Amino acid sequence: MTLLLQISDPHFGTERAVVVDALVALARQQRPDLVVLSGDITQRARSAQFRAARTFTDRLGAPVLAVPGNHDIPLFDLWTRLRCPYVRYSAAFGADLEPVHRSPGLLVVGVNTTRAWRHKNGQIAPPQIERVAGLLESAATTQLRVVVVHQPIAVSRDEDLPHRLHGHQPAMQRWAAAGADLVMGGHIHLPYVVALPALARPMWAVQAGTAVSTRVRSGVPNSVNLLRWDRASTPGTCQIEQWDFSSQTRAFILAEVKEVRPARHTRTA
């Protein structure tokens, strides 16, 4: 069994210490094979906020694959934003803005969807789409194939349509044909799992809420996702668990489970 923990939009600088500690406790209890950090790691891309975020991820006890969000580029420091927008991010999480994780059960491909000239919205360029597709096409049948972006590739409510990733349609079409199973994102602080329609093969958008920040939506608590992938079964089952922070127990509790069955080609690794 392979276990992946998705954390999104922690917005360090607005974090709640009790929620941070509860999430560390969850990670130590569940012992994920990989932590995916899908952007907006900080609130204002300040060095101290990145250091706090790095200290937090070091406590989780698992490898971390991170991609930047729009909040991880300085907003008010225009010189840094335009000349070296990722210098503070890179100091904490490395210079590779599009990291790749490979293991027998996982292929996880990070994509940088932020742009210094955009305030909030994300964008994906054709070369990025093709880079991801090439990696997906080389995946083994045992691997759950996950693409990580920040802004959502699909939304569950009409009011969130303006927040969709620019270039989402060609990306969905190409990645599905190349073998992607899931596209993980954040940005809108709303957790959901939706099947993506009219594609060459089944693919799902997996969105996470804000993990530890005070910037929650009304009625939506802090939350994270846990993905369990049984690579030994055929065609294989992926369980996507939403874990919400409970103020009563001061811990993350299992709130919802969704099960998806990724399609598999007949070829082997």
Q: Which residues of the chain have pLDDT under 50?
A: 266-269
Token pair of 35 as six digits: 């932590």
CA gap 184, 84 in Å, rounded: 26
CA gap 30, 212 in Å, rounded: 18
pLDDT at residue 233, as a whole number: 55
SS (H, E, C) 147-207: EECCCCCCCCCHHHHHHCCECHHHHHHHHHHHCCCEEEECCCCCCEEEECCCCCCCCEEEE
pLDDT at residue 267, as a whole number: 42
Q: What is the pLDDT of residues 95-150, one digit of tens each?
A: 999 999 999 999 999 999 999 877 789 999 999 999 999 999 999 999 999 999 99
CA gap 223, 10 in Å, rounded: 10
CA angle (261 as vertex; 133, 60 as ends), nearest 5: 75
Helix (H), strand (E) at residue 5:
strand 2-7
pLDDT at residue 75, as a whole number: 83
Could you give the domains of the chain?
2-260 (3.60.21.10)
